[in-house]
Amino acid sequence: MVFAASVALAANPTWAEAPARVVSMNLCTDQLAMILAAPGQLVSVSDIARDPLTSPMADEAAAFPINFGGAEQIYLLNPDLVLAGQYSDPAVLSMLRRLEIEVAQIEIVTGLDQVSDRVREVGALLGQEDAAEEVATAFEADLARFGSSGPGPRGAFYYPNGYTLGTGTLSHDILTTAGFRHIAEELGRETSGRLAMELLAVAAPELIIRTGAYPGASRSEDILHHPALRALVAAGQGYESGPDWICGTPTVLSALEDLAATRRGMQAP
């Protein structure tokens, strides 16, 4: 399944009619637009929408022209509406607005309870309220299947450069909704940042969530091969997060289902 992101509708105009030409320049708005737009309404998605390492809808994105987030390129597409991310290049967005192109910045999603609201908001921007309501309702029903399962195994995120995720993140919500406990709660870490290998080893989580290696062999990935990390994974369970984790869209359901299955396997007698 696929969907989501976020918009402050109060800051956006009410469309007299649905925008005929929509351009998305952000990975998460790419997904929302591909899910909700009417045929022919979406005229371009960002280039990373086709990258299977980051996009859960890479195959679907192949059907759309891509853009590289430049103001000149987007302007020449003659859009009625540009969907951008919360942290999209402000210089580009300012230029587009000065050219009198409507831009809607979609905020990142930090919790699963925000997903259906974002779907409805973006659907309203596209003039696709009925489609958005159907998608949001289906997401809410699927999410409700993940109920409390009691205290589960303890999990941790450990990415290149020793980067870990705090409690105020979508990934934290995915982890705990799937039935795990997040060691960030024990460590009192609300924000994300680097975590010393020593602290991770002392915490000794049963699940270590890492990312797959990217082309280029970056030195930041060396820590993922550290003997202490290997020992933790050998003693518990290793897991790789994927594209379904990145955006607050209904694609997170795939991450939830897979992670919940992992938990059941770890707790099986």
Give residue limits of the domains in the chain.
9-143, 154-267
Q: Are 61 and 49 in contact (CB under 8 A)?
A: yes
User: Model confidence over 189-241: pLDDT tens digits?
Assistant: 999 999 999 999 999 999 999 987 767 667 888 888 899 999 999 999 999 99
Domains 9-143 and 154-267 share a fold: yes
For residues 17 and 159, the model is more confident at 159
pTM over 0.95: no
CATH architecture of the domain covering 154-267: 3-Layer(aba) Sandwich (3.40)
259 vs 178: CA distance, rounded Å: 6
Q: Are 223 and 203 in contact (CB under 8 A)?
A: no
User: Model confidence over 102-158: pLDDT tens digits?
Assistant: 999 999 999 999 999 999 999 999 999 999 999 999 999 999 999 766 789 999 999
CA distances from 140 to 33, 160, 177 (A): 19, 33, 13
Half-sphere exposure of 57 (CA within 13 A, CB side): 27
CATH topology of domain 9-143: Rossmann fold (3.40.50)
